[in-house]
Amino acid sequence: MKNKLFLSDNIGSVELLEVFGDDLTIVNAARVSFHKESHELSERDIKLINYLAQHQHVTPFFHPIIRFRIKMPIFVAREWYRHTIGFARNEVSRRYVTNEPEIFVPETLRMKDKDVKQGSKSEAVQDSAGYVEQMRKYCKQAVTYYNELLKNNVCPEQARMILPQSMYTEFVETASLAGYARLVNLRIDTAAQREIQQYARYIHHLLKDKFPASWKALIHHKITKEKADEHSARFMDHKHGKTTQHDRTIL
């Protein structure tokens, strides 16, 4: 099983670090009410999982625990962090770290949707490429000035103020299967911001094979085979020590 997915710029990523439990963990958490236990997952157990999910008996789904290492732009992370119940996170701090910041720059800029207060259309704005190039320019200037401040002995905790919200941050995150199912259901919805949808799909593709019965029962949205193929192309091959190469957005 390949445990790391990259964004198209080959910088942003979601890496599955650890998994505690499986479908049988959920089954046995539920069956303890009757002082019973299953040793191998059966069709009867899968029916129980589906029943629990359908009727919102969620506590058994809190027993499996998953840990990820995630690298995403700050403006995406601040939305991601709105999921708080049952989540623990530790993030890279630029009070201590002064290595070269990595910046996310989109490939295109989408049009505002006038029919909704938030969100966007799929169409790109006119002269999107020109605006993207300007974004890249201004972000590069911000990073250059940040490095200049550090060279002139400005403390890192203040120098970081100049860096844009599109700067990548990185964090380790731990939560239950129930927590991740709720996050994914909300963030792969078409109403969610496009950039956060991509990260939610990565979580989906890394967990669906770890908990095949439970994850299928918990996820309300259908993710098409085309989307699965798109994301699986960006797996990191740990076994052979190779990384699939993609066009990178470099400042």
Q: What tens digit of pLDDT does each residue of 50-101 get?
A: 999 999 999 999 999 999 999 999 999 999 999 999 999 999 999 999 999 9
- Whether residue 224 is predicted with pLDDT greater than 60 in this model: the reply is no
Nearest Cα neighbor of 155 from 166, 146, 142, 144 is 146
* 241: alpha, beta or left? (left if phi > 0; alpha if psi -120 to 50): left
Residue type, 245: Q
- Token digits of residue 9: 């710029």
What domains does the chain contain, in order, with CATH numbers? Answer: 4-99+168-239 (3.30.1360.170), 105-109+123-165 (1.20.5)
What's the rounded Cα separation, in Å, for the pair 159 and 27?
Answer: 51
Only one residue has tokens 């066009």, namely 247
Q: Are strands 242-243 and 65-73 parallel, antiparallel or unpaired?
A: unpaired
- Whether residue 30 is predicted with pLDDT greater than 70 in this model: the reply is yes
Active-site amino acid positions? 187
pLDDT of the residue at 246: 33
Residue type, 123: E
Nearest Cα neighbor of 176 from 84, 66, 29, 89 is 66
pTM of the predicted model as reported, rounded to 2 decimal places = 0.85
Confidence of residue 231 (pLDDT cuts 50, 70, 90): very low
Cα separations in angstroms, 95 against 91, 125, 145, 195 = 11, 37, 17, 27
pLDDT of the residue at 222: 66
pLDDT of the residue at 20: 97
User: In what helix (H) or strand (E) does residue 71 lie, and over which residues does it extend?
Assistant: strand 65-73
Helix axes of 177-187 and 194-207: crossing angle, nearest 10 degrees: 140
